[in-house]
A and B are shown apart, each in its own frame.
Chain A
Amino acid sequence: MGEEILRVEGLRKLFPLEKSFLERILTRERRYVHAVDGVSFTIRRGEIFTLAGETGCGKTTTGRMILGLLKPTEGRIWFDGTEITSLSEKEMRPLRRRIQPIFQDPYASLNPRMRVGDAVKHPLEIHGIAEGEEARDMALEMLERVGLTPPERFYNMYPRDLSGGQRQRVAIARAMILKPEFVVADEPVSMVDVSIKAAILELMMRFKEELGLTYLLITHDLAVARYVTDRIAIMYLGKIVEIGPADEVFGNPRHPYTRALIKAIPVPKPVKEKKIPIRGDVPPSPVDVPPGCRFHTRCPLATEECSVREPELVEVGPGHYAACHKV
């Protein structure tokens, strides 16, 4: 594994809560959604690093801050040695080419009125890399590389003419045509049918080899993460509760939440009795974050201490950390 390519330190994002008219008159206090609440990690060049967790854990918000689509409330992000959170839009420009996104829903991220070929070509023009015939040829070549063949036929199609899997291939082509170094893939296969999920993952892996890419994979699907991840961080209500090499975290999970999450994943086998790992539900939104350990309200191991003192991440194995008073 290479040198550090991305470092995130003390990242925090609070969204002010919309107040109703009456609340605005009656109260002065502002309430916040603690979407990301103090997250730190590093990603090394050439690795696949996964942020995983359930709805509202802050994984997507973290990804959007790294992509520069959201300003952090607090904390800093370094990309290849440059601190990017304080950069102006203009200073950020050359870096944008090196950091590319792939989103969950290509329907939402592709312009419905733009031909597939033009959508793939567009980033080349924006970044002044190529134009005209040259850009067109590069787009055709890229369509071929993502398996949309014959490329001439796909070039003139519109997103609505494509299947979900084909649209995700277009989104990948668009990201890869800039030869990025770092790709943030947010739920890249969540909306893709099972029969072609593996094909999309394989395509992403091929680009990793060819371009020497580094991936930040954001997913709720631990089964998918298990297949491709080098290191993984499990998030819960805005915090990382466990982080480490994938084999360690899956093989020897230490945080009770990680254990529950892994246990809850359906495995393709008939089972007679399934143990329900944990009771209860995540709070509808991370506004009233529980005091102490955020997970203590649902944790089977929780004690008095857990409801008052917040646990820190402590090393439980080589490069493997968990934030729990009980480990």
Chain B
Amino acid sequence: MSGGRLLGIEGLKTYYFVGDEVVRAVDGVSMDVGRGEIVALVGESGSGKSTLAFSIIRLLPHGGRIVDGHIYFDGVDLASLPEKEMRRYRGRRISAVFQDPLTSLDPLMRIGDQFVETLQTHFPLSREEAEARAKKLLEMVGIHAERFYDYPHQLSGGMRQRVMIALAISTEPDLVIADEPTTALDVVIQAQIMEIFKRLRDELGISFILVTHDIALAMEVADRIAVMYAGKIAEYAPTEEIYASPLHPYTQALLRAIPDVEDTSKRLVYIPGSPPDLSRPPPGCRFHPRCGFAMERCGGEEPPYLEARPGHYVACWLHGGE
């Protein structure tokens, strides 16, 4: 964390209420994000990574609710802010980029007009000023200004995602939440998009929360990585530490499970079983039924989330706790 704390999440719980069932998608999460850093939230399907990210801007699907905890953004607790005041943050100081840019771009509106509309909503700009700024934003993400008059369907998937990113940073946000932004794109385009994120971090000091299932991708771009499992953070540490000395057995197992195109001698190992149903999570540590190191205690008591080494957090009985 280089430029001081921007976001501090404390004891966050976000549940989904579906019929009689309660799905504990995020169940007691604490973490922080610094200014000008890229933090990756990594996890498998159902780990709660997207729910955690969207809790921050309070954009939760139907039935989802923050039930406990705090989300301090630049000192203000977003978790308890009235909806009307939340609008000063959402889409302005915190913006979002989704997997499918077509869900956020208006198909009937020229690219340029979408920029002008967004810019004029947030800043007192004339049409000409807004257009000039829009063209500059498009240039920043590597899109030629002539695309200004195109409609979204005239662009390739990679270009649409660039447009989305340009639109997301048009309000000069402090934080951009990117939910699987390159999952639908090809690897070559993915590499280009990640380069843009890094440049925006370095040049504008924007912080990113990158939600991804791809740990290899997270390793390449993130400054810090939070590994989520079944609604909790298993481990949170600088990327170098996650790579060189992962502490949580789940992180260790995940790293052994990912194919590495540069290392053919690596033998892939899988984790037996599957992630738990979050309406009925196992007692104790949620990973214990699949963990190779599980002790008796792991099935009964939940491990505390502790700073095992400076800046390296882990929730595992192998690493501290009374």
Q: Which residues of A contact B (CB under 8 A)?
A: 54-55, 163-166, 193-199, 201-202, 220-224, 226-227, 250, 260-271, 274, 276-279, 281-284
Contact = CB atoms under 8 A, between A and B. Distances in A.
Nearest to B239: A270
Interface of B: 44-45, 154-159, 186-192, 194-195, 213-217, 219-220, 239-240, 243, 253-255, 257-264, 268-272, 274-275
A261 B243 contact: no
Contacts of B156: 281-284
A182 B41 CA distance: 40
Contacts of B259: 197, 221, 223-224, 226-227
Given A193-B44, A196-B270, A198-B270, A277 B260 contact: no
A270 B243 contact: yes
B265 to A, nearest CB: 11
B264 A226 contact: yes
Max count, chain B CB within 10 A of own CB: residue among A55, A166, A260, A271: A55
Contacts of A261: 187-188
Contact of A163 (B188, B255, B274): B274
Nearest to A202: B270
A278 B188 contact: yes
A194 B215 contact: yes
B216 A266 contact: yes
A194 B257 contact: yes
Given A164-B45, A194-B215, A284 B191 contact: no
B228 to A, nearest CB: 13
B42 to A, nearest CB: 9
B262 to A, nearest CB: 5
A279 B217 CA distance: 19
Contacts of B187: 54, 220, 222, 261, 264-266
A262 B155 CA distance: 25
A266 B157 CA distance: 20
B186 A199 contact: no
A268 B256 CA distance: 10
Contact of A195 (B188, B254, B263): B254
B210 to A, nearest CB: 12
Given A166-B274, A201-B268, A281-B159, A266 B188 contact: no
Given A194-B215, A250-B261, A274-B194, A227 B188 contact: no
B261 A262 contact: yes
A268 B255 contact: yes
Contacts of A221: 259
B274 A271 contact: no
8 contacts: A193-B44, A262-B261, A264-B187, A266-B217, A267-B219, A271-B219, A274-B194, A274-B220
B257 A198 contact: yes
A223 B261 contact: yes
A274 B195 contact: yes
Nearest to B266: A227
A195 B270 contact: yes
The 6 closest A-B pairs by CB, nearest first: A198-B268, A266-B216, A54-B186, A199-B270, A198-B270, A195-B271
A193 B254 CA distance: 10
A50 B207 CA distance: 39
B195 A265 contact: no
Given A195-B254, A264-B188, A268-B255, 15 more contacts: A55-B157, A163-B275, A195-B44, A198-B257, A198-B269, A227-B268, A261-B188, A262-B261, A263-B191, A265-B187, A266-B190, A268-B219, A270-B239, A279-B192, A284-B157
A283 B154 CA distance: 10
B186 A55 contact: yes
Nearest to B182: A266
Nearest to A279: B192
Max count, chain A CB within 10 A of own CB: residue among B186, B215, B259: B259
Max count, chain A CB within 10 A of own CB: residue among B215, B261, B271: B261
